[in-house]
């Protein structure tokens, strides 16, 4: 019996995707536990952590995406100390941005948002190095382990009847600091070698800039909805909406891992492997979407003030599928050198998002914002698919012509 139980556990511990899912599951449990707070206090918690994550997304230079697209040879043999300075500069930059976003929300705590963003940015640097060198399992194991700390601390706070969101935020901040220290200890060696290596003539900053421009634009499409609701509808509405969004985003776990694998796949046959990765990610998103809706229905029954989360979840399920498709296809486009195209698509979507979310939040509240987000992500994934199809066709045709010329040369010889 013990052997039959240990085998699935051993298999799960050896899967990068399952480790990523475990980290998300722990985050999901933390979100569920946070409904023990009154909606106003939970709104403060969400506004602060959202400000931190947006600060990291905007100031973090998309290191994971950039380094995965460059590959391990770039990290181990080419990138030098100038690159390292740029990567480390993300820490203070994210802190300043998180502080500003918390002020904009009018509900967050700027100091804690800034400190949390700095810790997350600091942990992302060694994590990006580990992923680039193919150590997916190790990075996700660390993230899964430290993701369990927050719900454990939250459970203690519930047991001692702490309803102050500031104390919950300090617990969250402690988790981020511990994870940063652990990841630097495990995956910091390649970065230490960079500090001793002279910088190449070209740091590929143009590719970094284009990659990050697209990522920053996507942040506003992903997260500005919550800041707009916090500003125009207050913490109570934000608390319910953010619960539904967090639950639905859990279904996109497979898309994140699939996108990272697509980014790092520079071998022959990567185009054939793309469809398998995409298909599995979509199936996972649909299956988990059903489970998430059941969970939201249960929360609505067991708690007061969160009944509307189920309706919002139903509206947001198509968003989850659109995001899954868009993530994987965007990763393939970057893999093919299409950073400029992904940035252009993302910027266009973000501009519509900032205006659309602000208007919807004022006039229609959470339901309007949810509906707008579905339209935006569906549009983003559709345009990305069309651009990728065109780019792939352009690349295939020269290859076919070259093959034809090779055949003629061989025949005449």
pLDDT tens profile 259-284 = 877 776 666 666 777 888 888 889 88
Q: Which two tokens stand for residue 65?
A: 């995406």
pLDDT tens readout for residues 207-246: 777 777 777 787 788 888 988 898 889 888 888 898 899 8
Identify whether 409 is part of a domain: no
Identify whether 7 is part of a domain: no
Q: How many angstroms separate the CA atoms of 179 and 244, rounded?
A: 26
Domain stops at, among 200, 222, 246: 200
pLDDT tens readout for residues 131-174: 888 898 899 899 889 889 999 999 999 999 999 999 999 999 99
Q: How many angstroms separate the CA atoms of 160 and 174, rounded?
A: 19
Identify whether 413 is part of a domain: no
C-alpha pair distances (Å), 380 with each of 105, 131, 250, 352, 385: 26, 26, 20, 11, 9
Residue 361 has a pLDDT of 94
> Which one, of 205, 199, 149, lies nearest residue 177 by Cα?
149
Q: How many angstroms separate the CA atoms of 172 and 85, rounded?
A: 28
Q: Where are the beta strands (DSSP E) in 119-226?
A: none
User: Which helix (H) or strand (E) segment is 180 a member of?
Assistant: helix 165-187
pLDDT tens readout for residues 57-106: 888 888 887 887 777 888 887 788 888 898 999 999 999 999 999 998 88
Between residues 73 and 45, which one has the greater pLDDT? 45
pTM: 0.70
- Residue 268: exposed, middle, or buried by beta-carbon count in 10 A (0-12, 13-18, 19+)? exposed
Do residues 142 and 270 share a domain?
no
> Which one, of 120, 135, 118, lies nearest residue 67 by Cα?
135
Q: Which two tokens stand for residue 89?
A: 């500069």
pLDDT tens readout for residues 294-353: 989 998 888 777 888 999 999 999 999 999 999 889 888 887 778 888 889 989 999 999
Residue 400 has a pLDDT of 45
Identify whether 332 is part of a domain: yes
> What's the structural domain count of the chain?
2
Are 131 and 19 in contact by the 8 Å Cβ rule? The answer is no
Are 22 and 151 in contact by the 8 Å Cβ rule? The answer is no
In this structure, of 54-63, 183-192, 203-212, the range with the lowest mean pLDDT score is 203-212
Q: How confident is the model at residue 379 (pLDDT cuts 50, 70, 90)?
A: very high
Do residues 295 and 365 share a domain?
yes
Task: Tell me the HSE value of 398 on the side-chain side, using a 13 A CA sphere.
Answer: 4
Q: How many angstroms separate the CA atoms of 360 and 332, rounded?
A: 32
Do residues 108 and 161 share a domain?
yes
- For 402, other C-beta atoms within 10 Å of its C-beta total 10
Instruction: For CA atoms 214, 216, 218, 221, give the dihedral sign.
Output: negative
Residue 111 has a pLDDT of 95
Do residues 62 and 176 share a domain?
yes
Is the pLDDT at 406 greater than 50, yes or no?
no
Provide the domain limits for residue 145: 14-200
| Rounded (5°) CA angle 299-303-304 | 130
Domain stops at, among 200, 216, 232: 200
Domain stops at, among 200, 217, 239: 200
Residue 394 has a pLDDT of 58
- Chain-centre distance of CA 186, in angstroms? 22
């Amino acid at each position: 019996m013990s052997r039959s139980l240990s085998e699935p556990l051993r298999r799960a511990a050896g899967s990068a995707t399952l480790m990523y899912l475990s980290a998300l599951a722990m985050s999901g449990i933390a979100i569920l536990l946070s409904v023990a707070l009154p909606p106003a206090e939970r709104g403060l918690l969400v506004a602060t952590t959202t400000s931190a994550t947006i600060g990291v997304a905007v100031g973090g230079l998309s290191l994971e995406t950039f380094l995965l697209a460059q590959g391990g040879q770039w990290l181990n043999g080419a990138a030098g100390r100038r690159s390292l300075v740029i990567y480390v500069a993300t820490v203070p930059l994210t802190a300043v941005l998180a502080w500003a976003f918390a002020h904009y929300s009018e509900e967050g705590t700027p100091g804690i948002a800034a400190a949390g963003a700095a810790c997350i940015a600091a942990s992302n640097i060694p994590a990006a190095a580990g992923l680039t060198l193919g150590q997916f399992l190790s990075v996700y194991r660390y993230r899964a382990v430290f993701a369990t700390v927050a719900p454990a601390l939250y459970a203690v706070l519930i047991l001692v009847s702490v309803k102050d969101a500031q104390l919950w935020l300090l617990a969250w901040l402690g988790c981020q600091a511990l994870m940063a220290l652990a990841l630097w200890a495990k995956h910091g060696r390649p970065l230490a070698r960079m500090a001793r290596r002279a910088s190449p003539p070209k740091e590929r900053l143009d590719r970094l800039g284009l990659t990050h421009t697209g990522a920053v634009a996507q942040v506003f499409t992903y997260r500005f909805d919550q800041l707009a609701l916090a500003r125009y509808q207050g913490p109570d509405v934000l608390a319910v909406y953010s619960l539904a969004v967090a639950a639905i985003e859990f279904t996109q776990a497979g898309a994140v891992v699939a996108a990272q694998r697509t980014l790092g796949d520079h071998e022959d046959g990567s185009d054939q492997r793309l469809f398998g990765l995409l298909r599995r990610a979509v199936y996972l998103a649909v299956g988990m979407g059903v489970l998430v809706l059941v969970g939201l229905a249960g929360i609505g029954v067991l708690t007061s003030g969160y009944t509307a989360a189920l309706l919002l979840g139903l509206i947001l399920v198509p968003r989850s599928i659109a995001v899954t498709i868009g993530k994987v296809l965007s990763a393939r486009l970057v893999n093919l050198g299409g950073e400029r195209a992904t940035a252009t698509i993302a910027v266009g979507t973000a501009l519509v998002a900032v205006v659309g979310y602000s208007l919807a939040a004022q006039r229609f509240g959470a339901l309007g914002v949810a509906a707008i987000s579905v339209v935006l992500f569906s549009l983003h994934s559709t345009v990305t698919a069309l651009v990728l199809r065109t780019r792939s066709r352009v690349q295939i045709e020269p290859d076919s012509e070259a093959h034809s010329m090779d055949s003629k040369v061989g025949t005449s010889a």
